Amino acid sequence: MTSGTFITFEGPDGAGKTTIIRMVAEQFTNVLLTREPGGIDIAEQIRNVILAKENTAMDPRTEALLYAAARRQHLIEKVKPALAEGKLVLCDRFVDSSLAYQGYARGLGIDEVWAINQFAIEKMMPEFTIYFDIEPELGLQRINKNKGREINRLDLEDLEFHQKVRQGYQLLMDRFPTRIIRIDASGSVNEVYKQTIELIENKLAKK
């Protein structure tokens, strides 16, 4: 039995999730801000393996399994305990990333990737998911402008891959129309933040 609230943030690379989630977290007390893959030591170690630029030989199924393994550990070690303590858990990426990136863009199949993730999450899903929608060209431009950000193996995929990721998310919005809520992430930081905080406050007020 969980008493907190679990919200996930999704979108293509460079959509602005990390920027906005940090601003949102500052507005709440009793909040846990975390991310996938990572958020705890074991999952951060898995993240380093998945995203290392030199690991170009990684098989797509290995990639999907590693994301699911990191997810499992993070869920058990960090997310579930925080929810049990009544926290608001804001998570930068969750299972929808695996469905969009590995299931659709890598071509493993959304249903197949959903199935392996069931072993990891045991039906544990967010109350709702905010999807930051952006043209991949704009997302990648934002990343490339940020000289301080390390470019990882997934960022180095070609534009076609990133376009497929976005198509994958569009399919997920059709599949989960009540859980996933779209926000236009192409505007300024302040515009995107305003939409996001209003959405969260409305949802929390209805709980």
Ligand X SMILES: Nc1ncnc2c1ncn2[C@@H]1O[C@H](COP(=O)(O)OP(=O)(O)OP(=O)(O)O)[C@@H](O)[C@H]1O
Does 129 engage in binding with ligand LXEULUCI (CB under 6 A)?
no
- Is 18 annotated in a binding site? The answer is yes
Question: What distances in angstroms separate CA 133 from CA 4, 86, 89, 140, 179, one per listed residue?
Answer: 26, 29, 21, 13, 15
Distance of closest approach, residue 117 Cβ to ligand X, in angstroms: 19
Does 182 engage in binding with ligand X (CB under 6 A)?
no
Q: Which residue number, 52 or 204, has a Cβ lying nearer to ligand LXEULUCI? A: 52
Does 164 engage in binding with ligand LXEULUCI (CB under 6 A)?
no
- Which of 196, 203, 153 is CA-nearest to residue 11? 196
Element (H, E) at 96: helix 95-97
Q: Which residue number, 18 or 55, has a Cβ lying nearer to ligand X? A: 18
- Which of 119, 124, 44 is CA-nearest to residue 84? 124
- Is 109 annotated in a binding site? The answer is no
Does 25 engage in binding with ligand X (CB under 6 A)?
no
Q: 39: phi > 0 → left, psi -120 to 50 → alpha, else beta; which?
A: left
Residues 137-156 that bind ligand X (CB under 6 A): 142-143, 146
> How many angstroms separate the most distant Cα atoms in the chain?
47
Interface with ligand LXEULUCI (CB under 6 A), residue from 37, 103, 136, 168: 37
Does 13 engage in binding with ligand LXEULUCI (CB under 6 A)?
yes
Does 67 engage in binding with ligand LXEULUCI (CB under 6 A)?
yes
Binding partner selected for residue 143 from ligand LXEULUCI, ligand X, none, CB under the kind-specific 5 to 8 Å limit: ligand X
Q: How far apart are CA 147 and CA 120, in angstroms?
A: 35
Q: Which residue number, 86 or 109, has a Cβ lying nearer to ligand LXEULUCI? A: 109
Q: How far apart are CA 11 and CA 134, in angstroms?
A: 8
- Dihedrals phi, psi of 32, to nearest 5 degrees: -120, 120
162 alpha-carbon distance from chain centroid = 15
Does 108 engage in binding with ligand X (CB under 6 A)?
no
- Which stretches of the chain bind ligand LXEULUCI, using CB under 6 A? 13, 35-37, 67, 93, 97-98, 101-102, 152, 154
Residue stretches of the annotated binding site for ATP: 11-18
